[in-house]
Amino acid sequence: MSRRSTAAKATVHKLARREASLSLVASGKWHPLGAEVHNKSFVKSVRAWTPNQDRLMSAIRHHDITLAVGPAGTGKTYLTVVEAVSALDEGRIKKIIISRPVVEAGEKLGYLPGGLNEKLDPWMRPVYDALSERLGAANLRRSIGDGVIEIAPLAFMRGRTLSNAFVIIDEAQNMTYQQLVMALSRLGFGSTMVITGDPDQTDLLPELSGLSEIIRRLEALDAVAIVRLTAADIVRHPLVAAMMPLLA
């Protein structure tokens, strides 16, 4: 195809888009950012890649409390976010509440400027990435601004009752037993809570992490789902799955 033909084709497409925009203006459906069209591109169909991931998604749908444990890259946080957004879209909950322990992984970050959300941003980044992929950046910012998605530091959870919410407690291996008990006891009516973590990858002293003890004690309750993912469920680079058993 010649350059002239390509240019002519581009012009036709440009005129067609302009005509479509004018049509939307006339119908009253036009938005300056094209928000409706833009946001639809973020609505992706997500399915489990492994049987354990499928069990995790099913457990979240059918239990008020689910503990998802396993190595990095198994989709614990991402699949939990997928289920949280689905519950919000379907009107089963009114808000998503996310909490993570603020524990530095062997490095001192020093003073962090900004408000609460900005200070927590380094720790919340993996959750933000998953939410942004599901909602789109604009919708995510709007939802946080409206309080539909709430970032709640552990220190701010004490004394609250979290009703009609989807509560995500991420990186729970970096929480003490007492912190986990406090978080679990926040559950209110109409809420779902998912606790994720890897007991073998704590940034606390091993005797301080309470995740393994919480799992041991709650295994007796049929109403609490405990889903264990393994290196076989890792969906990152194939080399990650090969390395993790050797590094455990």
Q: How many CB atoms lie within 10 A of CB 245?
A: 11
Single out the residue of 103, 74, 81 nearest to residue 175, CA to CA.
103
Q: Do 193 and 155 fall within a single domain?
A: yes
Q: Which pLDDT value is given to residue 58? A: 96
* Predicted model pTM: 0.74
Decide: residue 27, CB within 10 A, 0-12 exposed, 13-18 middle, 19+ buried. Answer: exposed
**76 and 190 assigned to the same domain:** yes
**What is the pLDDT at residue 32?**
40
pLDDT for the residue 136 = 86
Residues 83 and 131 in one domain: yes
If asked whether residues 11 and 70 sit together in one domain, one would say no
Residue 189's domain comprises 51-247
Residue 116 to residues 48, 69, 97, 112, 153: CA-CA distances in angstroms? 34, 28, 15, 10, 9
Per-residue pLDDT reduced to its tens digit, 220-233: 999 999 999 998 89
The angle subtended at Cα 151 by Cα 146 and Cα 153, nearest 5°, is 145
User: Do 164 and 243 share a structural domain?
Assistant: yes
d(CA 160, CA 89): 24
Task: Specify whether 184 is located in the same domain as 138.
Answer: yes
Same domain, 135 and 57: yes
Residue 40 lies in a domain: no
Same domain flag for 84 and 16: no
Domains held by the chain: number: 2
Which residue spans within 119-223 are E strands per DSSP?
149-151, 165-169, 192-197
Residue ranges of the chain with per-residue pLDDT less than 50: 21-22, 24-26, 28-41, 43, 104-112
